[in-house]
């Protein structure tokens, strides 16, 4: 791995200078390992290898979604940082930004975040890397130019500024989660961008911050979650937070819960609906905000929920799909549903009613066992 990574510089990047140099390298193809090739258009899926320096460092693995839902590799793109060599157990390790034109990726062992531009053919151009503002970053989210990073090791949230040519550490000091926080797993902005939410599975709690016009996180609110072990989340059409509750991993203990986010960040419980599956960890909501899908790590299945007016939940299907061994993340887009299952990615078509069709458990295979995170653009 090149010695230009932020970890080896030991300071915040001289972002504009280094970003320019990296952009030239990546644009000429030197930034991509293997035989990277352009996709023919449509949708693209991204995951990170999360490999250690011994195995060549972290890279983004990029795939083109074929007409049949299989995934064709279009290359491996080094992040300039290192992974941990094992799954992160989080949601949001890889996320889109800038209206789908950028990709942000955590480097958990380097304490950095990498910033790629997504080219029209689905390939990636590395632009910059920046410190995460803490240790062991596991989840990253963006709203407009503001970027927040969840640092699981230090129980902090770092802030960054996204521009067309750099990812710049914010002048705001990283903020601490509540003193009760234990094992935070996902960070995300509310649809309006007015609040940031962090789920914490071991403490069964959720922290909420207000976001100022200058991107500063203020007004920490700590809420004991309705369900046990809150994990992944998304948002309904009305802006309510829809959260998966892993329930300690036992069958029948999982659930989906919904909350109204108040004007000052206070969470108001709406509904909690259980399911029979085990370890409902990852959650994604469809674009219309009317259906939630939960990946059940202990059952190898996906459950689906209807999201009604006011964020009210009803269980639509306890087993909407069987996707194989140990699902560890999921995404939805382009008429397809994808689930990362350690060394494979499963796919299923999404019908007009929102139900899942026949599953291909090996839409992509041969991924490193450390692979983590999914995004689709």
R_g of the chain computed on alpha carbons:
19
pLDDT tens for the 377 residues of the chain, in order:
333 333 333 333 333 323 333 332 233 233 455 445 666 668 999 999 999 999 999 999 999 999 999 999 999 999 999 999 999 999 999 999 999 999 999 999 999 999 999 999 999 999 999 999 999 999 999 999 999 999 999 999 999 999 999 999 999 999 999 998 999 999 999 999 999 999 999 999 999 999 999 999 999 999 999 999 999 999 999 999 999 999 976 678 899 999 999 999 999 999 999 999 999 999 999 999 999 999 999 999 999 999 999 999 999 999 999 998 899 999 999 999 999 999 999 999 999 999 999 999 999 999 999 999 999 99
Which residues lie closer than 8 Å to 104 by C-beta, 6 or more apart? 94, 95, 96, 97, 113, 114, 115, 116, 140, 142, 147, 167
What are the tokens at 31?
């930034």
**pLDDT for position 2:** 33
**pLDDT for position 151:** 98
**pLDDT for position 36:** 54
Tens of pLDDT, residues 239-297: 999 999 999 766 788 999 999 999 999 999 999 999 999 999 999 999 999 999 999 99
Nearest residue to 240 via CA among 313, 314, 299: 313
Q: Does the global pTM surpass 0.85?
A: yes
* Whole-number Cα distances in Å, 163 to 19, 167, 168, 337: 11, 6, 8, 31
**Beta strand spans in 246-290 (E):** 255-261, 267-274, 280-285
In the chain, what percentage of residues exceed pLDDT 90? 86
Contact 117, 125 (CB under 8 A): yes
**pLDDT for position 30:** 31
Tens of pLDDT, residues 124-154: 999 999 999 999 999 999 999 999 999 999 9
Contact 217, 178 (CB under 8 A): no
**pLDDT for position 252:** 82
**pLDDT for position 57:** 98
């Amino acid at each position: 791995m090149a010695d230009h990574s932020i970890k080896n510089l030991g300071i915040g990047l001289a972002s504009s200078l280094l970003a320019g140099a990296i952009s030239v390298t990546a644009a000429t193809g030197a930034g991509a390992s293997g035989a990277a090739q352009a996709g023919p258009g449509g949708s693209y899926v991204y995951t990170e290898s999360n490999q250690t320096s011994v195995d060549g460092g972290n890279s983004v693995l990029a795939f083109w979604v074929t007409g049949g839902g299989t995934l064709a590799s279009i290359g491996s793109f080094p992040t300039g940082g290192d992974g941990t060599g094992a799954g992160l157990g989080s949601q949001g390790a890889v996320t889109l930004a800038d209206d789908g034109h950028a990709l942000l990726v955590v480097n958990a062992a380097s304490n950095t975040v990498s910033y790629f531009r997504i080219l029209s053919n689905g390939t990636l151009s590395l632009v910059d890397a920046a410190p995460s503002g803490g240790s062991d970053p596991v989840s990253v989210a963006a709203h407009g130019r503001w970027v927040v990073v969840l640092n699981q090791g230090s129980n902090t949230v770092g802030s960054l500024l996204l521009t067309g040519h750099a990812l710049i550490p914010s002048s705001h000091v990283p903020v601490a989660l509540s003193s009760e926080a234990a094992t935070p797993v996902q960070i995300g902005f509310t649809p309006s961008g007015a609040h940031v939410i962090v789920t914490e599975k071991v403490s069964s709690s959720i922290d909420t911050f207000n976001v100022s016009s200058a991107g500063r996180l203020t007004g920490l609110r700590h809420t004991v979650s309705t369900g046990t072990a809150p994990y992944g989340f998304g948002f309904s059409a009305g802006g309510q937070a829809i959260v998966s509750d892993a329930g300690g991993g036992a069958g029948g203990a999982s659930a989906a819960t919904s909350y109204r986010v108040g004007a000052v960040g206070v969470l108001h419980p709406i509904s909690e609906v259980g399911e029979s599956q085990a370890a409902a960890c990852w959650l994604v909501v469809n674009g219309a905000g009317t259906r939630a899908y939960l990946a059940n790590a202990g059952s190898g299945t996906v459950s689906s929920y209807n999201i009604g007016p006011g964020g009210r939940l009803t269980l639509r299907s306890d087993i909407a799909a069987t996707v194989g061994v140990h699902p560890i993340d999921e995404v939805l887009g382009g008429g397809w549903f994808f689930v990362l299952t350690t060394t494979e990615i499963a796919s299923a078509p999404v019908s007009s009613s929102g139900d899942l069709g026949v599953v291909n458990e090996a839409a992509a295979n041969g991924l490193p066992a450390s692979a983590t995170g999914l995004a689709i653009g």
